[in-house]
Structure 1
Amino acid sequence: MTTPPAPTGPVDPIGADLIALLKALKLGALKDTLPERLALARQHQLSHVAFLELLLADEVSRRESRSATLRSAKAGLDQSMRIDTWNALDDLRYDRSLLSDLVSLRFAEAGHSVLVLGPVGVGKTHLATALGHVAIRRRMTVLCARADKLFARLRAARLDNSVEAEMRRIATVDLLVLDDFALRPLDATETNDFYELVVERHRRKATIVSSNRSPDEWLSMTTDALLAQSAIDRLTSAAHTLVIEGPSYRQRTRPGHGAVDSSEGEVDAR
């Protein structure tokens, strides 16, 4: 495939008056790409309308990217854990076709659940978080939290009588990412909160749960077997299960190990 020729011809200077006008319209970022776009317009003899459309498309793209970054931070998503930063090591075993299907977010549109299961360090948190980023780009509301921290948030909300509002907020997000579920035993309050969340979201909103334990083991980690069984049954009845097996992804991608270019940094792969 041949590389298109670089824009040629003189570049029009961007004067202070034009920059001031762009800033007044909150379009200051256009000044960074305007010289390149002017040269491109001259090279391809773009009409005024086509040139304006090109500039506005640049601005829309910038704003969408900035908006997605802000919304993902508000959702609690780690900015480094995205699909494009996932390194599928050869000795990690998982259903790649299932992952591709999950990235389409058809499960979220259907209100289904996703279980991301596997031993410590294989990348469960990374993939669960990455799906959250995809949902953010699709303009879905997302909340990502470690299970123990989410239950602690609900416990704190009981102190100021805001637990119903907090529970409603969590129950109504389009995608809830519950990370490291059942890493430790759940007490009676946490078991009840887990049940309430699952019941409220069942077949209405999508939930992703990552865990080192299989659903068969979750029951023994709760204090009320009846409530827990009811919640687990609902959660798993319409769940897509992605099992990841292999050596620790976290250890394989640590700086200096050599499995991944060190410029990618350390990946948290709970």
Structure 2
Amino acid sequence: MMTTTMTAPADPIGNDLTALLRSLKLSGMKDTLPERLSLAKTRNLSHHAFLELLLSDEVSRRDTRSAVLRAQNSGLMPLLRLETWNELPDLTYDRRLWSDLTTLRFTENNTNTIILGPVGVGKTHLATALGHIAIRRRKTVLMARADRLFTRLRAARLDNTLDAEFRRLVRLDLLILDDFALRPLDSTTTNDFYELIVERHRKGSTIFTSNREPVEWLTMTTDPMLAQSAVDRLTSGAHTLIVEGPTYRQRNTVAIDQQHQ
């Protein structure tokens, strides 16, 4: 009785081409090359068109990898993007304004955005999503929880790096401060808040998320007059998006109750 020996299909790329791709730091191209070879045969692509397709794939791959790395270095949470925002009907906010914010036109004018609402309505998600859009457009971005940023500035005073830290923050295209004014601001933090807003005024855009309206921020500081000067600059021409509705926890509770009915 004869037996049939199964042989694995030959690698359409081959070891020599694989080695060349590795030498040129184009190993990522190996993953899509078989598919592109098949496409070239099916569509009878010219050599020029085939090469252009391969290079376009590589540019796209590198841009994606670069955006991921820059988002990580900017403090942006990877899952909080525009495409993962769950458009729930029980949330109310100005969707036309939100659509305009996603164009990032406000960054072209160096104006600010304030996202207000109670805990758990998705303020951080929306702010982070704008940060990811800015990253993909190769803008410089930093996102931080407000209290941690001001703690970092306080520490910079101790090692004489405060001026360098402020210069870094001022040069950013987009600074995102999350959960601003959750706690009262002491005199040092109030001063740093003022200096940060004044130095960035008309030089870059800042996004604030907060549970409190700007008028309430004044009562959270040790120097209302200094804070008023900062808030006036911050809110001048700023876009304010107010998000209202039940918190994530409340929505999840409702969803679980409905599943058990």
* Secondary structure class of the residue paired with 1:71: helix
SS of the aligned residue for 2:203 comes to: coil
- Partner Cα distance (1:133, 1:231) in 2: 27
**Which consecutive unaligned segments of at least 5 residues does structure 2 have?**
1-8
Q: What is the aligned-residue RMSD (CA, Å)?
A: 1.7
Query: TM-score, normalised on structure 2?
Result: 0.92
SS in structure 2 at match of 1:56: helix
Alignment of 1:41-80 (within 5 A): 41-80=40-79
Q: Secondary structure at the match of 2:208?
A: strand
1-structure distance, mates of 2:232, 2:200: 13
Partner residue, 1:92: 91
Would you say the 8 A contact 1:121–1:250 is kept in 2?
yes
For residues 30-179 of structure 1, the aligned pairs below 5 Å read 30-179=29-178
Q: 1: distance between equivalents of 2:250 and 2:153?
A: 33
Deviation of 1:41 after TM superposition, in Å, equals: 0.5
In structure 1, distance between residues paired with 2:11 and 2:45: 15
Residue 253 of structure 1 and its aligned partner are, at CA, apart by 5.2
Distance 2:163 2:193 in 1: 14
> Quick one: distance in 2 between partners of 1:31 and 1:75?
30
Give the Cα separation in 1 of the matches to 2:116 and 2:162.
Answer: 30
Structure 1 position 167, deviation (Å): 1.0
CA distance in 2, matches of 1:250, 1:137: 31
The equivalent residue for 2:201 is 202
Q: Any conservation in 2 of the 1:121–1:247 contact (CA below 8 Å)?
A: yes
Query: In structure 1, what is the Cα distance between the partners aligned to 2:213 and 2:248?
Result: 19
- In structure 1, give the amino acid aligned to 2:179: D
Q: Cα distance, 1:27 vs. partner?
A: 0.4
Query: How far did 1:12 drift?
Result: 7.1
For residues 119 and 155 of structure 1, do their structure 2 counterparts lie closer, same or farther at Cα, with a shift above 3 Å needed? same
CA distance in 2, matches of 1:146, 1:18: 48
Cα distance, 1:238 vs. partner?
1.4
Going from structure 1 to structure 2, the CA distance change for 1:22 and 1:250 (only over 3 Å counts) comes to farther
Deviates more, 1:242-251 or 1:49-58: 242-251
Q: Which ranges of structure 1 fall in alignment gaps of 5 or more residues?
A: 1-9, 260-270
Tell me the CA shift for residue 249 of structure 1: 2.8
Residue 67 of structure 1: how far off its partner (Å): 0.2
Give the Cα separation in 2 of the matches to 1:37 and 1:211: 49
d(CA) in 2 for partners of 1:188 and 1:160? 19
SS at match of 1:140: coil
Q: What is the CA–CA distance in structure 1 between the aligned matches of 2:221 and 2:206, rounded to whole Å?
A: 19
The count of corresponding residues between Structure 1 and Structure 2 is 249
| CA-CA distance at 1:252 after TM superposition | 2.7
Q: What is aligned with 1:15?
A: 14
Which amino acid letter does the alignment assign opposite residue 14 of structure 2? Answer: G
Q: Residue by residue, what CA displacement relative to the aligned partner does 1:96-141 show, whole Å, maximum 9, x if unpaired?
A: 1111100000000100000000011100000001100000000000
Relative to the length of structure 1, the TM-score reads: 0.89
User: Separation in 1 of the partners of 2:66 and 2:116?
Assistant: 31
% identical equivalent positions: 67
Task: Tell whether the 8 Å contact from 1:151 to 1:190 is kept in structure 2 after alignment.
Answer: yes
Match of 2:5 in 1: none
Q: Distance in 2 between matches of 1:253 and 1:201?
A: 39
Q: 2:228 aligned with 1:229, yes or no?
A: yes
For the residue of structure 2 that corresponds to 1:204, the secondary structure is coil
Q: Distance in 2 between matches of 1:101 and 1:11?
A: 52
Contact 1:122 1:250 in 2 (8 A): no
- Using the alignment, how far apart are the partners of 1:107 and 1:179 within structure 2? 18
Post-superposition offset of 1:257: 4.1
Relative to structure 1, the CA distance from residue 111 to residue 46 in structure 2 (aligned partners, 3 Å threshold; closer, same or farther) is same
Pair member with larger Rg: 2
